[in-house]
Homo-oligomer: A and B are copies of this chain.
Amino acid sequence: MLERFKVLPEDVIRVPHTSLHKATAAIFEKMGCSPGDAKEGADTLVTTDLRGVESHGVSNQLRVYVKQYQDGELNPRPNIKTIKETPGTASLDGDRGLGIILGPRAMKKAIEKAKTVGVGIVTMRNSGHVGAVGHHSMIAAKSNMVGMCVTSGGEHVLPTFAAEPRFGTNPISIAAPARKEPFFLYDAATSAIAGNKIFLAERVGATLLPGWVASRDGTPIMEEAMSPGRNNYYQLPLGGTREQGSHKGYGLAMMVEVLATMLSAASPAMLGEPRLAQDHFFAAFNIDAFTDIDEFKDNMDAMLKTLKETKPAPGHKRVIYPGLAEYEDEQDRLKNGIPLHHEVVDWFDSITGELGIPKLERM
């Protein structure tokens, strides 16, 4: 993450990941989830915070989920239905369950299929937010597969040249295992910037950079400025302007819409279908079906090492690859705790008090 999104040191309270996991799971149980589902949801969120992806951890998301359960929008005891199924594929209806809980289940189904026919694709409609898509891809990578997960939904991002938003931030993730090096893990929105990063910037008082958002008439804002506030901008696709490649961000957003929404027997948000939030796509490619797994991991190690050791451009200390900084953050946070903004810790204290569950510990 860019430095501008980091919580300022004076605002940080570090909490042990075990306590954060326990409190988060207890909150999900109080929302009516089964103990197994509550643990799954806490796994997704806390793993994401351990990896340094604050935008998709407990800070921005958990209070939203709590509200969605309390409003009856999310179903804590979903009965997942199979719409269609073949040896290599399945499309599921999530029965308004929360995506961060159902996602790992869907990916595991894809992995089982990939063990049999080499590849497994599972799509899911009618479920809530899936969290950091990379979390689900990593489940496949840990099973000796290449994992992919993408998710679509919402209307925040402008097509190139447009004055009306048509897409969600539609992120793409992929993960692949290595032997000695930290796994390759890519996870990023197809918009210039993730929606949650804008909220994070607002919280930490950071400016937005040129080409990240547009004014409400669709004109890209090309000066560095504070966020115009939640209802005064639209997001731009990756690239920002046509000249810088925004048609690519736009096309990739549509790719996600086709894979996650169209292939899950749903209809895009832009068509106004009344539905919860997002549709998801999970893919597992069984490495053993394509090549020798040991050779694959050796090649991955060699590639990742080459990238790490690539000579940096002037002004930069080192070259990293997607997944490396996340791994380093994880090592630090497992040991030294997860840094939360004090407002987030306040929220935990208030909700745990309200629900009558143990308070979040501090390091």
Listed in ascending order, the chain A residues whose CB lies under 8 Å from chain B are: 2, 83-84, 86-89, 91, 114, 116-121, 123, 146, 158-164, 166, 172, 174, 176, 184, 186, 188, 190, 192-193, 209-211, 214, 217-219, 238-240, 242-245, 247-252, 254-255, 257-259, 262-265, 267-268, 270-271, 285-287, 289-292, 295-296, 299-300, 302-303, 306-307, 310-316, 318-322
Q: Which of A91, A159, A240 has the most CB of B within 10 A?
A: A159
12 extra interface residue pairs, beta carbon distance < 8 Å, beyond A86-B117, A254-B322: A83-B291, A87-B116, A88-B88, A88-B119, A89-B286, A161-B313, A188-B248, A193-B245, A209-B243, A214-B313, A262-B296, A271-B303
Query: What is the distance, in angstroms, from A88's C-beta to the closest C-beta of chain B?
Result: 4
Give CA–CA (A114, B163) in the complex, Å.
39
Known: A218-B312, A319-B160. A290 touches B91 (CB 8 A): yes
Query: What is the distance, in angstroms, from A241's C-beta to the closest C-beta of chain B?
Result: 9
Contact B123 A121 (CB under 8 A): no
Contact of A86 among B118, B214, B306 (CB under 8 A): B118
Give CA–CA (A295, B164) in the complex, Å.
25
Contact B307 A118 (CB under 8 A): no
Residues of B within 8 A of A313 (CB): 158, 161-163, 214, 217-219
Known: A245-B192, A271-B306. A86 touches B289 (CB 8 A): yes
Give CA–CA (A249, B291) in the complex, Å.
26
Residues of B within 8 A of A285 (CB): 89, 121, 259, 263
Give CA–CA (A82, B297) in the complex, Å.
21
Residues of B within 8 A of A86 (CB): 117-118, 286, 289
Residues of B within 8 A of A306 (CB): 166, 270-271
Contact A312 B161 (CB under 8 A): yes
Contact B244 A186 (CB under 8 A): no
Contact of A159 among B190, B265, B319 (CB under 8 A): B319
Known: A89-B118, A267-B299, A313-B163. A244 touches B192 (CB 8 A): yes
Q: Return the chain B residue nearest A291 by Cβ.
A: B265
Residues of B within 8 A of A160 (CB): 319
Contact A252 B172 (CB under 8 A): yes
Contact B118 A87 (CB under 8 A): yes
Query: What is the distance, in angstroms, from A42's C-beta to the closest C-beta of chain B?
Result: 27
Query: What is the distance, in angstroms, from A114's C-beta to the closest C-beta of chain B?
Result: 8
Contact of A303 among B146, B172, B268 (CB under 8 A): B268
Contact B121 A118 (CB under 8 A): yes
Contact B159 A321 (CB under 8 A): yes
Give CA–CA (A86, B287) in the complex, Å.
12
